[in-house]
A and B are shown apart, each in its own frame.
Chain A
Amino acid sequence: MSLLLFTSSCDTELDITPSNEVSEEKAYETLDACESALAGVYDSFTQGWFAHYANQYIFYMPDIMADDAYVSSTGNYNRFVTAYQFTVDPTSTYTKDPWANTYSIIDNANALITGVEKFPDSDRKTSLLGQAKAIRAYCYHYLIRLYAKPYSIDPNAPGVILRTVSSIEPMPRSTVKDAYALMVSDLTWAATNMKEGTDKSYIDKRAAEGLLARVYLDMGDENAITYAEKASAGVTLLSQELYTTEEFSKVNSETLWSFVCTLDDRQSYLSIPSFWYYADGGYYDADNKLVYKNVVDGYSSLRVSQSLADIFDDADVRKKLFPKVDNKPNEYLRYRSGILTSKLRHVGGQIGIGAINYLRASEMYLIIAEVAADKANYTKAKQALNTLRKARGLGDYFGTDANLADEIQQERRRELFIEGHRFFDIKRRKGILSRYTTYDATKPAANLKEGHWHGVYYKADDDKMVLPIPQDEINANKALSSADQNPGY
C-alpha cells in the first residue's frame, strides 16, 4: 500500500496579464490611454487579416469596379481580379475583407467612444470623441455604399449591421436610411463641437464638415452645400505648379484630412501609390527599348483607361498626370501594356512614404456644384465648378444649364479619379456602369474601352452593383439568415 500526497505551497498568482497587450480595464483608464486607443483606430486603416488593408479596399475597389480604371490583365498578382470582374460570391476575399477590415475600425471607434464618454467634458475629450465618431461615420459611409442600394434609389433598402457599441450580440441589418441617420448624427456632433486643428493627419472640425458634406451629397440634401462651404472656407487649392508633383501626396494646402506614412510606419509595397505608380516618364533608347524614368517599384498592377485620359483638355494641368513618352506627344507611357498615372506618388523616391489625402478641398466645390445644380441653383453651381476649373487651368464652363449636371460628373472624373469615388458616383447619379464604347449584349467582348479586358454593363440598381453580405457574417450572426442576403447572390 502506498500513499502519495503532494501539496504546493505556491499561492494564487493566477491573475496574469500579458506584457505586450493592454487589458480592457486599463485601455481607457486615462485620457492618455484614450489617445493611444485613438492612434489604434487610425492604424486600423492599415491593418488587415488577409491580403489587403482596409485603406486599399476603400481606395481601390470603387475605381477598379468602374469604367475609368482597371486591374492589369497580366502581372496583377491575382489582387483585386475578382472584384474587377464582378465575379465575387459571398465567400470571396473581396466580399469578406472590405467588410471585416472596416468593421474592425468601427469596433475600435465604438470602444473608444464608450471608453471616453465617462470622462468630464474637456477639449481633449471632445477631440477624441469627435474623431472616433467621424471615423465611424466614414467607415459606415464606405460600407453602406458598397453593400447596399444607393440612398438616391431606395433609402428603405436593407443596409448593413449598424453597431454602435463593441459587442458580439447578434444584430440584424438596418436600412440604408438608418445608416445615413447615424452618419449625420455622428458627423454633425463632430462638426459642431470640435475645433479646427493644425495637424491634418487627425480629423478636426473642418474634416468633419467635409465628411458631412459627402454624406449629405448622397442624400441630395442642401446641407451638403452649407458644410462644403464651411469646410473649404479659407482653404487655398493646390497650385498648378505643385499639383502634378509629389506635393499632391503630402499634407498640402488643400488637405482637409490626410493619412500620414513615415519611414518608420509605412506600408511599403502595400501602400496606396504602390499599386498605381511606376514611373514619372520614359524615353526610347538607342535600341528602341522603353526606359522608364524615376522608377519607384511596387505592385503597379492597377491602370487607367485611355478613355479617361482623353477627357482632359490640353490646358488642363491634370492632363500631365498621364505621362507621355519623351518626344512622342501622342504616346502615353505604358507599363505592362496599360497607361500609367503619376497622380499618387511615393515621396522622396522612397516607397510608401508620404500622405494619402483622404479628403481634399477640391471635392467640396464639386459637392456644392452637384447639389446646387440638382436644385436648379445654376449660378451657385457654376460658381463652384468654375472655381475648381480655374484652379486647374481651364476656363469657365460655357455650356447649357441642362448639361451642367453631366459636366459636373465629368469634372468629378477628372479631379477625383483613383481616389475611391467612381463606382459610388455612378450609383448615386443612377447612371450606367459601362466599359464599352458601344454596347452590344450579344457580343460581350467587343468594343471595350481601352485597356479593359472584362466588359460589364450595369444600371445603377442592378443586383451586381451591390456586393453580397459575406457568408461568414450570415453564418455567425444569429440575427441573419440566408434570406438576408442581397438579391442575385
Chain B
Amino acid sequence: MVELDLAATPAAVGSLTHKENLVSYLGRLNYDYDSKYYLSLSARRDGSSRFGASNKYGNFYSIGGSWRMTEEAFMEETKTWLDDLKIRASYGTNGAKDGIGRYASLGLYATGRNYNGVPGIAHSQLANPDLKWEKATNFNLGIDFSLFGRLSGSIDYYIKKSVDQLLDRPLAPSTGLDVMTMNIGGLKNTGFEFALTSVNIASKDFTWSTTLNLALNSNKIFDYPDDYTVSGTKIWTNGYSLYEFYLKEWAGVNKDNGDPQWYVDVKDADGNVTGRELTNDYSKATFYKSGSALPKAYGSLTNTFSYKGFDASFLITYSFGGKVLDTYEYYLMNDGNRSGYQMIQEALDSWTPENPNAKNPIFIPNNSNNSHNASTRFLHKSDFIKLKNINIGYTFPKSLTQRISLDELRVFGTLDNIYTWKLDSDFKGWDPELGGVSGVLSNGGAIPLPRTILFGLSVNF
C-alpha cells in the first residue's frame, strides 16, 4: 500500500485514491403506432463494486405504454374543447446504490492510527458480504390533458416500493463500531402529483398564466425485521415513515413550582401500559413516536405575466404536514442548564411565582433539571409558504436589437428567497426547510438562505 495516509511520520501529510466501478448492460425497445399507441420496454443488468462478492449484479426492467386518446376516431367530436388527452402507465424496477460508502460491503481497518512512530490500523468497518442492490418497484398511472387551448396539466398516481433498503443500521456501542450498512426492510411511497397550467389571459399585448404543482405523499416502512430500531431522533418500525420522530413528550410547565414536565407511561404488574402520568425527571420519561418529518403536501405556485416586452414571474413554494426538530433551542432556551450560552428573547418568559403561566420552566443558573434536552418541546410544524423567486425582465424589440446584429437582448433582475411565512408560531428559527429531509435543524446546516438580488443581461446572437 503506497498512500501517504498510512505513514506514521511525518503525520501531517496524506494521500488517498478513490475508485469505483460500474458495469452495465442495457437494452431498450420503443414502439409507436400511428402516433396513438406507444410502448416502451427496457432491461438492464448492473454490477457495482460497492456490493458484496456474490451480489454485485442486479437485473432491472421496465415496461410502459401510453395511449393518446384524442387521436382516436371516436374522440372526433371532442376536438373543439379537448386539445390533447393521453393516458399513460408504466411499471418497472430499478436499483439504487447511492448514499452508501464505496466499500460498504468490506471489513476494513482504517490507517493512520499510529502510535509512537509505528504506523497503525484500527477497525473501522465490519464486513457485510450480503450487501446488495436496493430494488425499487415503481408503478405509475398518469393522465396528460389540455383543454380549451388554455388549461393543461397532468395527474399522476404512483406507488414506489423499495425493498432491501440500504440503511446504516446503528450498532450497539459495545461492538466498538457505530453503524453497519445493511439491506433492511422495505419502504413504500404512494401518492399523487398534480400539475396544472392555466393561461388566464391571452390578449395581444398581455398574457397571464398560472401553474400549480401539488404533491401528496405517504411514506411507510414495511417488512422491517425487528420490532423497531432507534436511529438518532428517529424510529424505524413497520407502518411508519422512515423519518418518524421518536422523542420524549413535553408536558409543559408545572404551574405550582415551575418544574419542567414530561409524560411517562404507567404500567401494570404485567408490564402493560395502562395510562400515563407526569414526571419532572427527564430520565424517567417515556419515548413516543412524535410524527414524521416529511410533509404530507408540498409544491409550488407560479404566476407569469407578460406585457409587450416586459415579463414577470413569481414563484411561491409551500409545504404542509411535516415536522422539524430545532436542536438550536437546546442551547438558546436552556433554562440555565447550559450556563454561559447565549439565549433568545423567548427565554425571558420563564416561570416565577408572579408569572405562573409562563411558557418556559423556572430559570436556575447552573441548572441540572435537563429541561433543555431533546423532547417534543422543540418539535414544531415545518409548514411554510415561501415567496421564493421574483423574476422581472424586459426584452428589447427585435427592430432595435437587429440593428446591432443581436437576435435577442433581454435585461432582467431576479430576487431569490424573498420571504418565508412560518406557519407554526412556536418555531423560532429562520426557515423550517433548512431541517432537510430528516427534519432536524442542527449545528451543521442552519444558516438561512440569503436573500439575493441578481441583475443580468441575456444576449442571443
A74 with B340: CB separation less than 8 A:
yes
| B:425-442 near A, CB below 8 Å | none
Q: Is the CB of A82 within 8 A of B122?
A: no
Q: Are A89 and B175 in contact (CB under 8 A)?
A: no
Contact (Cβ within 8 A) B111 A20: yes
For A24, the chain B residues whose CB sits under 8 A away are 106-109, 127
Q: Which parts of A430-489 form the interface with B (CB within 8 Å)?
A: 453-454, 468, 470-473, 475-478, 489
- Name the interface size band of chain B: 35 or more
Apart from A15-B53, A24-B106, 7 more pairs, CB < 8 Å: A2-B29, A11-B23, A41-B120, A96-B173, A107-B123, A166-B176, A472-B172
Can you list 16 residue pairs at the A/B interface with Cβ under 8 Å? A1-B32, A6-B25, A13-B21, A20-B1, A24-B106, A24-B127, A39-B113, A39-B121, A41-B122, A74-B339, A107-B175, A108-B122, A265-B8, A470-B173, A472-B172, A473-B173
Residue numbers in B under 8 Å from A163 (CB-CB)? 174-175
Distance from B279 Cβ to chain A, minimum over Cβ atoms (Å) = 12
From known contacts A40-B113, A264-B9, infer whether A168 and B126 are also in contact, taking CB-CB under 8 Å.
yes
Which chain A residues have a beta carbon within 8 Å of chain B's beta carbons?
A: 1-8, 10-25, 27, 33, 35-44, 47, 49, 73-74, 78, 82, 85, 87, 89-91, 96, 99-100, 103-108, 111, 160-161, 163, 166-168, 170-171, 201-202, 260, 262, 264-265, 453-454, 468, 470-473, 475-478, 489
Main secondary structure of the interface of B (DSSP, over half): loop
* Nearest CB of chain B from residue A50's CB, rounded to whole Å: 11
Residues of A within 8 A of B56 (CB): 12, 14
The answer to whether B113 touches A23, judged by C-beta atoms less than 8 angstroms apart, is no
Query: Within 8 Å CB of B339, what residues of A?
Result: 73-74
- Give a binary string over B1-27; 1 marks a CB under 8 Å from any A CB, 0 the rest: 101011011111011111111011111
Q: Is the CB of B174 within 8 A of A14?
A: no
CB–CB A36/B229 < 8 A: no
Q: Contact between A477 and B172 (Cβ–Cβ < 8 Å)? A: yes
Q: Report chain B residues within 8 Å CB of A37.
A: 109, 120-122
Pick the contact of B48 from A14, A107, A453 — CB < 8 Å? A14
List the interface of chain B (C-beta within 8 A of A): 1, 3, 5-6, 8-12, 14-21, 23-32, 47-49, 53, 56, 102-103, 106-127, 170-178, 180, 226, 229-230, 282-283, 338-341, 366, 368, 370, 373-374
* Of B12, B49, B366, the contact of A453 (CB 8 Å cutoff): B366
- For residue B53, which residues in chain A have a CB less than 8 angstroms away from its CB? 15
Tell me if B170 and A265 are in contact (CB < 8 A).
no
**Cβ contact within 8 Å between A262 and B172:** no
**How far does the alpha carbon of A231 sit from the alpha carbon of B283 in the complex, in Å?**
44
Residues of A within 8 A of B226 (CB): 478
CA distance A36 to B8 in the complex (A): 11
Complex Cα spacing A27 to B6, Å: 13
Residue of A nearest to B26 (CB): A6
Question: Are A22 and B174 in contact (CB-based, < 8 A)?
Answer: no
Residues in B with CB closer than 8 Å to A111 are 123
Q: Which of B16, B115, B282 contacts A19 (CB 8 A)?
A: B16
Contacts of A96 in B (CB 8 A): 173
Contacting pair B116 A260 (CB below 8 A): yes
Residue of A nearest to B177 (CB): A107
Neighbour of B119 across the interface among A36, A471, A473, CB < 8 A: A36
Instruction: List residues of chain A with CB within 8 A of the CB of B5.
Output: 19-20
Q: A99-B173, A168-B172 are in contact. Are A8 and B110 (CB under 8 A)?
A: no
Interface contact A5-B27, CB-CB below 8 Å: yes
Q: Say yes or no: A468 contacts B173, CB within 8 Å.
A: no
Q: Are B47 and A87 neighbours in the complex by a CB distance under 8 Å?
A: no
Establish whether residues B120 and A87, one from each chain, have CB atoms under 8 Å apart when the complex forms: no
Contact B49 A454 (CB under 8 A): no
A489/B103 in contact, CB under 8 A = no
Within the complex, which residue of B29, B112, B172, B338 is in contact with A473, where a contact is CB–CB below 8 Å? Answer: B172
Known contacts A43-B120, A264-B11, A265-B8; A2 and B30 CB within 8 A of each other: yes
Rounded to whole angstroms, the CA-CA distance of A14 and B48 in the bound complex is: 6
Q: A18 — which chain B residues lie within 8 A by C-beta? A: 16, 18, 102-103, 106, 108
Query: Nearest residue in B to A33 (C-beta to C-beta)?
Result: B121
Q: Decide if A82 touches B368 in the complex (CB within 8 Å).
A: yes
Residues of chain B lying within 8 A (CB to CB) of residue A1? 30-32
Q: Determine if B49 and A36 form an interchain contact, defined as CB atoms under 8 angstroms apart.
A: no
Q: What residue of chain B has the Cβ atom nearest to residue A87's Cβ?
A: B368
Task: Decide: B229 and A475 in contact? CB cutoff 8 A.
Answer: yes
Of residues B109, B116, B173, which shows the largest number of chain A Cβ atoms within 10 Å of its Cβ? B173
Q: How far is it, in angstroms, between the C-alpha of A88 and the C-alpha of B230 when the chains are bound?
A: 20
